[in-house]
Structure 1
Amino acid sequence: MSAFIQQLPALIGVVIGALGSYLAIVRGDRARFDRERVVRWEEQRYTVYVDWARALKQTITLNYRVAAHLGNDPHPHPLSAEDAEPLMTQAQIDRDPYGEALILLGSPAVVDRAQEWVSTVMAMEAFLREARRDPEGWQALLDRQRTGRQRYYAAVREDLSLPTGHSGRWPAAPTG
């Protein structure tokens, strides 16, 4: 019995060491899993943010083309409202799933900025449906749309902890 008592401190040390190693491994694995999960969701949000913006941009480009047909915009490829209608419908259909993913995965601030941006795009569409020939009114909508886009991207950058980016405001190409 005295030999067992003499070995007991070493046995307790081995048990404590094994338990400590097990706990350290479990904590490390848990921390790695948590980091990987955060990265995975950030990648998903990034993809959703970009896909939604790209789909909305298709509608915006069509709006520019119709506005050019009406004489409101200098876009080099005018398109009549009649010719644009099926393209606009398809752009809306294509955008809807991205909007749902945005609502599901996006931060509240990004979703709010997206709503502001798309509301302005819808106002642009209404302007064009009325076949208005008002370059100043169109320019005001363009400015609102560009501000909406800038605010959306700023919210995305903040949500994804990205550095501040470009405003996205390009100088207008000279006409004439």
Structure 2
Amino acid sequence: MSVFIQQLPALIGVVIGALGSYVVVVRGDQARFRREQAARWEERRLAVYADYAQSVKKTVTVTYRVAAKLGNDPHPDPLTLEEAKPLLADATTRRDPSGEALIMLGSPEVVDKARAWVVTAMEMEHFVRASRQDAEAWQALLERQRAGREGYYTAVRDDLGLPPGHSARWSLPAADPVPPQR
């Protein structure tokens, strides 16, 4: 038998081992690439979700302040409607592009919950722009807004695979009565 034929099984083993190593490395690189790509998209979605939430919350906060000036809300920093108009316009201007990013990158459930939340925020804005003085109606809007925000955050956590979070509903201590003057 020739030397070549005697060494052929070893040579075939080396070739098979090299091919096996190559396949393992390529598949490992592909899996790592997919994981890194998924992590990048997840980070981007989280940023879009947070940006949208902040833009809606800006509208909500300004409406709280105007409602306080109208006597509907106990917010400690009331604001007149005239002072609030530029802030509301800025909030809307900021919310529109973040809403587009949300539609592009968000899951359908998150987008649906975001829409429910923002519709309530827009109703709150309409309420204060109409200078309504109705504390009960305002309180109902607040409850809908809080439920909308909670639903949005729950959908975001589900989409990102995060554990359940805090509902952000906590009761505030009653205001201390003013001590008598001596």
Please tell me the TM-score bracket, short chain as reference.
over 0.9
Alignment match, 2:114: 114
After superposition, give the CA deviation of every residue in 1:148-173 in whole Å (9 maximum; x if it has no partner). 00000000010111111111112145
Is 1:4 the counterpart of 2:23 in the alignment?
no
Give the whole-Å Cα distance in 2 for the aligned partners of 1:59 and 1:81: 13
Matches of residues 126-141 of structure 1 in structure 2 within 5 Å?
A: 126-141=126-141
- Structure 1 SS opposite 2:38: helix
Matches of residues 31-70 of structure 1 in structure 2 within 5 Å?
A: 31-70=31-70
Which amino acid in 2 is paired with 1:111?
V
- Point out where structure 1 has 5 or more consecutive residues left out of the alignment: none
After superposition, give the CA deviation of every residue in 1:57-113 in whole Å (9 maximum; x if it has no partner). 111000000100110000011111111001110111112221111111111110100
Give the whole-Å Cα distance in 2 for the aligned partners of 1:90 and 1:152: 22
Alignment match, 1:157: 157
Alignment match, 2:82: 82
Which amino acid in 1 is paired with 2:16?
I
Q: Using a 3 Å threshold, how does the CA distance of structure 1 residues 20 and 34 change in structure 2: closer, same or farther?
A: same
Give the whole-Å Cα distance in 1 for the aligned partners of 2:128 and 2:161: 37
Alignment match, 1:24: 24
Structure 1-normalised TM-score?
A: 0.96
Give the whole-Å Cα distance in 2 for the aligned partners of 1:47 and 1:170: 26
Query: In the TM superposition, what is the alpha-carbon distance from 1:147 to its structure 2 partner?
Result: 0.1
Which amino acid in 1 is paired with 2:162?
L
Which amino acid in 1 is paired with 2:164?
T
- Structure 2 SS opposite 1:174: coil
Give the whole-Å Cα distance in 2 for the aligned partners of 1:81 and 1:170: 28
- Structure 2 SS opposite 1:79: coil
- Point out where structure 2 has 5 or more consecutive residues left out of the alignment: 178-182
Alignment match, 2:14: 14
How many residues are aligned here? Answer: 176
Structure 2-normalised TM-score?
A: 0.93
After superposition, give the CA deviation of every residue in 1:90-147 in whole Å (9 maximum; x if it has no partner). 1111122211111111111101000000000011111112111000000000000000
Alignment match, 1:100: 100
Give the whole-Å Cα distance in 2 for the aligned partners of 1:62 and 1:174: 23
Query: In the TM superposition, what is the alpha-carbon distance from 1:174 to its structure 2 partner?
Result: 3.0
- Structure 2 SS opposite 1:45: helix
